[in-house]
Amino acid sequence: MSGSVETTGSKLNFSFAKRYIGESVLRQLLNYLEGNPDTNIPRLFRILETIAPFPHYREMLRNVRNYYEQNPAIRTYFNSIFNEIDREVRNKLMCNFVINTMMLSASRRKQVEKEEGIHIPYTILIDPTSACNLKCAGCWAGEYAKHDQLEPELLDRILSEAKDLGIYAVVMSGGEPFVYPHLLDIAEKHNDMAFMIYTNGTRIDDRVADRLQLLGNIAPAISLEGWEEATDKRRGKGVFKKITEAMDRLKERGVVFGASITVTRHNVEEVTSDEFIDFLVDKGVRFLWSFHYIPIGRQPDLDLMILPEQRAYLVERVEEIRKSKPIAVADFWNDGRLTDGCIAGGKSYFHITARGDVEPCAFVHFAVDNIKEKSLKEVLNNPLFAEYQRRQPFSENLLRPCPIIDNPEALREMVAKSGARPTHPGADTVLSGEIGDFLDKRSAAWKEVADSIWAARKQN
């Protein structure tokens, strides 16, 4: 026993030493880059390429460096990180992401997978609370019980177990995470982790913004639906004004933050217009997450789902934005070709609700296990996740990655085979009835369009 403890302690000390040395070197490099980003940023990427632990990391870094050298918008984006972001915020996030998440944790995840036979994802989406100060129409989380909450001791345990498995990047949602009274203290305790937090932005006052600047390891992603009229219509009168004020506070303090948009058939052109993207960039938004509306949660509205021709438009338009605007954009349903299909079910991430239910995805509200009853390692081995990972990708056409809206028959089969239960009343409406029938027809219509796009791209 004593030998085992000593060995474990040695491993921990060695990992700490590697992290400490790595962070010290990276901080020096980042401060050095401030003097001449145009020349020194490519040098940094070359250094990172040589020390990246896996070939796909090296390829990713090489691609980013090439984009930086060839694309003015990408160059402006990276240079602004050194010109506009608070130095300590930048250094903390970069150290947590580059050293802990990319370098050290990747090796640890591979080690656990080899020893335990369990795939370890890159990140976890956690809802610390289901409580929210808004009541947005069609909220995907709107049918969870209203006041569930993870005890701080439980959340602390989840994060500690995550790091032991090699997971250092965590995403939080809700509910409204900034309603959770322990949020910032938890982030401070786990200051070696990088947190991205989906938020409605209305709770980010001067006090919270100051704390975010001090912590440096939290990047909020503020939700909006487009301009003021569209945002206030869904989220409540005056919310857009509160959101833009929160953005101003974060920009003034040099805090890294982004935006999150639910794309519907009614706002698809508005939220991808040059004017709106330029507005976000001017406000200081560094990244933009695009979520296609999914008919789950509070009063699902099938009329909000984007049409096949609109989704085809997004395929082209998002690529244009990436090439021409200094902002990072992810379109989760159309980016399957970049992620080799669906990322859920423990492949790249999974979802823990405020009640502790372990779901494969934020939008697939079915579970087999509850984190209150099992360890993180145990819930990663559940039969629903096994079904997901066995079937991924769900289609050879990676423009059709999703088992909800692109391959609904796959979701029905996985739920039935794993014995998963709905995590709230109405969660199973995506499987049958009016919504199930609609998803079958809509997925067939998108298949026809997507297969045409996919075939054309394979020829080029």
Structural domains of the chain ordered from first start: 13-102 (no CATH), 117-356 (3.20.20.70)
Q: Judge whether 355 and 427 are in contact, CB under 8 Å.
A: no
- From first to last of the 460 residues of the chain, give the pLDDT tens digit: 333 333 344 344 435 445 554 566 666 667 766 778 888 888 888 887 887 777 877 888 888 899 899 999 999 998 888 889 998 998 888 888 777 877 778 888 999 999 999 999 999 999 999 999 999 988 999 899 888 999 999 999 999 999 999 999 999 999 999 999 999 999 999 999 999 999 999 999 999 999 999 999 999 999 999 999 999 999 999 999 999 999 999 999 999 999 999 999 999 999 999 999 999 999 999 999 999 999 999 999 999 999 999 999 999 999 999 999 999 999 999 999 999 999 999 999 999 999 999 999 999 999 999 999 999 999 999 999 999 999 999 999 999 999 999 999 999 999 999 999 999 999 999 999 999 999 999 999 999 999 999 999 887 6
DSSP conformational letter for 409: H
Q: CB count, 10 Å around CB of 424? A: 18
Torsion, Cα 19 21 22 27, to 10 degrees, reads 120
| pTM above threshold 0.75 | yes
C-alpha distances in Å from residue 147, one per residue of 73, 222, 234, 353, 415: 43, 22, 22, 12, 27
Return the percent helix, strand and coil in the chain, to nearest 5.
55, 10, 35
Number of helical (H) and strand (E) elements in the chain, helices listed first = 19, 11
Tokens (6 digits) for 150: 């993870």
